[in-house]
Amino acid sequence: METLSPTPRTTVTRGRERVVTDRAALHALLADGLVAHLGVDVGDHPLVLPMAYGVDLDGPDAEGTLYLHGSVAAGWLRAAVGSTVCVTLTELDGLVLARSGFHHSMNYRCAVVVGRLRAVDDPEERSRALDLVVDQMVPGRAATLRPASRKELAATAVLAVPLREASLKARAGGPVDDEADVAAGAWAGHVPVRRVLDAPVHAADAHDRVPDDVLRRCQ
């Protein structure tokens, strides 16, 4: 079990009891997620935008590489290359309904990755990264698609953030109430929250034989 080795800027200072220092737990969360939130500095304030992502644990960075992509026409993304960015991935697992507002909480897993945003220029790495972004949505799907065209590749910016500086927090289970509130007898508990993928909807112009990888993803 490899442990995360956060630097001061990814060392969690609040809620230490919720910190997970197991790199395998980080990888499991990254495997579960679909949308990350990328924070970049755009001058006088941060900008936070949702992004699809892919992960390569055997990539160029010793502890794994997180890939993002966007349009080459996105100026804010181009401008962020070379700067230190924050990529946060949150999975909500439940609502924690305590007997007081103060002890209300959420069950979640959250990874915060801080690192330098690198433009990926190597054609092989770009191609692998884009496949990983597709496979994050439906594992195995990239291999079933035609290769990207030169025009498509030219229109796509591929960005990488090393997974080296990362912290992970998680909460699970029911509420922790004050004794006096428990004694007063009000109900408390938690509500599990899940993401569900429904049956695929065929494109208007598609035949009805849904690929096996897509069917597996929706189960």
CB of 139 to a second copy, least distance (A): 12
The nearer residue to a second copy, 121 or 187, going by C-beta atoms, is 187
Query: How far is CA 144 from each of CA 14, 70, 135, 140, 148, rounded to the nearest angstrom?
Result: 45, 22, 10, 7, 12
Between 133 and 159, name the residue whose CB sits nearer to a second copy.
133
Shortest distance in whole angstroms from residue 57 CB to a second copy:
20
Q: Cα–Cα distances in Å, from 71 out to 62, 107, 126, 131, 155?
A: 27, 34, 14, 16, 6
Distance CA 136, CA 113 (A): 18
Pairing relationship of beta strands 84-97 and 166-171 according to DSSP bridges: unpaired
What tokens appear for 67 in the block?
């890939």
Rg of the Cα trace of the chain?
A: 20
Our CA angle for 143, 25, 165, nearest 5°, is 90
The residue written with tokens 């004694």 in the block is: 183
For residues 65 and 87, which CB has a smaller minimum distance to a second copy in the complex? 87
Residues 6+ apart with CB under 8 A from 37: 48, 49, 50, 51, 87, 88, 89, 90
**Closer to a second copy at the Cβ: 65 or 158?**
158
Residue 52 DSSP class: -
Q: How far is the CB of 212 from a second copy (least distance, A)?
A: 11
| Rounded least distance, CB 22 to a second copy, Å | 20
Q: Which is nearer to a second copy, 10 or 65 (CB)?
A: 10
Whole-number minimum distance, CB 142 to a second copy, in Å? 6
Min dist CB 21 to a second copy, Å, is 18
Q: Which is nearer to a second copy, 3 or 71 (CB)?
A: 71
Structure tokens at 204: 């208007």
Q: Which residues pair with 169 in a beta bridge?
A: 19, 110
